[in-house]
Structure 1
């Protein structure tokens, strides 16, 4: 089978090569991958900034969807022909996270989905919603489950307000899932064009932070001085200070990304001193979100099916992995970046 693998770090060094097609053992299923999608984590893994000590070679990418081709002895959950996606952390089946459950992340701790065929434990898969194509289903495992759990962290009620940063995968899934909950959604971006596209998906109000840098003040104005119930933070240290200014008293900041590292990053504000006093004064709940469990994925899929939610992204050929990663690095994408395998 054909795979993309990391033999040495760097986008240009990503290799398109051959490996033996795997065979499922007891409790395992062989899946023919039809589509994969990229996350910012995948870019960091390929470049070597996520884990410089990563054991190589490694097949990257946590997100993919495909068809069960064969199963090993003892498998009861799946049969040939089932449409499935892999879960991000293969050991996190249900319940709260533990160190043991959060091991076994695809495309990091173990080989990922950027291959024509993969073998995974039967509990490392979920059925995908019937109305989605393989390309749409491939976008769900990381970004959508992260957005789902970010919303759950805030116990968001209808009429509540959510703020998203940028128009990447997690942000747009937050927008779509929040609208299913009856929430109002604000968004900031460096692109008026992307904000207009987000408004077509249900964004209630948007701000270009390049032309109006103080988006925290704008968010306060949009909420009549009260502040935002939930901010889904993809930036990290470069945006957290402003998020603390924009969130309401007793509100929630779901920290889901670190796009800014220790300085500024794509589509985000420059680093500001962290106003720790605001955490205390506003009694803010600062919650780290690292994807979620298999059960979280299954629960989210019910909402996706009932709401007829359709993920947003761009589709590329199987041979374009380097080009897709470069597009992600440049921040040129809207929603998810997907590759059809084959």
Structure 2
């Protein structure tokens, strides 16, 4: 089968190879992938930041969608032809995250990822793709969409009428906008591009802020909320934006910390105390969360926002496109 694997850190270390097809064990199914999507995590891995101790060679990418082509002798959940996505953390089916589950992620050096034609997975570590979605659309869900669901719905307990702040226009932020609107929330979105802000308004954003025009964008957030602040922040910037996100949140607001896109200085904990904020690290989510997400988006017929689709053999070019930061929504590979 065709595959890509890292032989060393850096995008130049990602090589196209031919590997033996994996054979499913008694409780496993073989999945022929039809599409995958990229996450910022994939760049962090390539740069040697995400898992500096990773062993090579290793197959990257966590998010794939495909069809079952073979089942093990003891499999009861799936049959050939079923359309499925592997879950991001293969051992996290339900309940809280813990150390035992932490070492079972795809494509980050723990377990082989999905940048290959066929993978074998335990039958419990897959979810069914909603019928209305294409493979390309479904491949956008396992990391970004589940992470947002965990942040806004599980941790955030999002209610209709509450206000959500999203940062930028990457895959996570687009799902944050869509899922917040699905729950009847008001959304304030930021970007450095007026053209992108027009597009997020078309997707339902109620208010937009150009953070180049307004470098102190937290003041604009407060102005738009009559000085109160937002109920929820989907924080993807990390150190470079967390202080502004804290300033943007209302008293007793909730901040889901998801990304590390921007560099910056530390956080003064006094503001967390004074505003009694809930600051929660979000590391994707469980199979149960993925299934709840799929039920919700199926009811709404929500369509993921795809920036651009590359052929499988152009995986390195797709990652370089992500590196530019110019994308709007998810970057997808079609196999």
TM-score using structure 2 length: 0.98
Give the distance between the partners of 2:134 and 2:60, measured in 1 at CA: 22
How far residue 88 of structure 1 moved from its aligned partner, in angstroms, is 0.2
Q: Is the 1:175–1:202 Cα contact (8 Å) retained in structure 2?
A: yes
Match of 2:185 among 167, 183, 186: 183
Q: Which of 273, 283, 292 pairs up with 1:290?
A: 283
User: Displacement, 1:164?
Assistant: 0.4
2:33 is equivalent to residue 33 of structure 1: yes
Aligned-pair CA distance for 1:272: 4.8
| CA deviation string 1:58-78 (max 9, x = no partner) | 000000000000101110000
The 3-state SS of whatever aligns with 2:313 is: coil
Match of 1:61 in 2: 61
2:317 paired with 1:315: no
Which of these residues, 326, 330, 334, is aligned with residue 336 of structure 1?
330
Q: Is the 8 A contact 1:128 1:137 kept in 2?
A: yes
Aligned to 1:274: 267
Please report the RMSD computed on the Cα atoms of aligned residues, expressed in angstroms: 0.9
User: Which digits, 9 at most, give the CA deviation of each residue in 1:216-263, with x for residues without a partner?
Assistant: 010011111110000000011110110111000000010011112xx3
> CA–CA distance in 2 between the matches of 1:283 and 1:55?
42
Q: CA deviation at 1:318?
A: 1.0
Q: Deviations over 1:55-107 (max 9, x none)?
A: 11000000000000010111000000000001000000111111102221000
Distance 1:93 1:276 in 2: 34
Deviation at 1:273, TM superposition (A): 5.1
CA contact (8 A) 1:37 1:339 kept: yes
What is aligned with 1:268? none
Superposition pairs of residues 1-342 of structure 1, within 5 angstroms: 1-108=1-108, 109-152=110-153, 153-260=155-262, 263=263, 271-272=264-265, 274-313=267-306, 314-341=308-335
Mapped partners of 1:48, 1:279: distance in 2 = 32
Find the aligned partners of 1:81 and 1:65 in 2 and give their Cα distance.
12
**1:158–1:182 contact (8 Å) kept in structure 2:** yes
Quote the residue 1:267 is aligned against.
Answer: none
CA distance in 2 between partners of 1:190 and 1:324 (Å): 22
Higher helix share: 2
Equivalent-residue separation in structure 2 for 1:272 and 1:30 (angstroms):
46
Distance 2:7 2:265 in 1: 37
Kept in 2: contact 1:154–1:251 (CA 8 A): no
8 Å contact from structure 1 (residues 151, 178) kept in 2: yes
Q: Is the 8 A contact 1:65 1:84 kept in 2?
A: yes
SS at 1:320 equivalent: helix
Report how many residues are paired: 332
Q: Determine the C-alpha separation between the residues in 2 that align with 1:86 and 1:203.
A: 31
Which runs of 5 or more residues in structure 2 are unaligned? none
Partner SS, residue 30 of structure 1: strand
Q: Structure 1 stretches (4+) deviating beyond 2 angstroms?
A: 271-275
Contact 1:6-1:59 within 8 A present in 2 as well = yes
The alpha-carbon deviation at position 47 of structure 1 amounts to 2.2
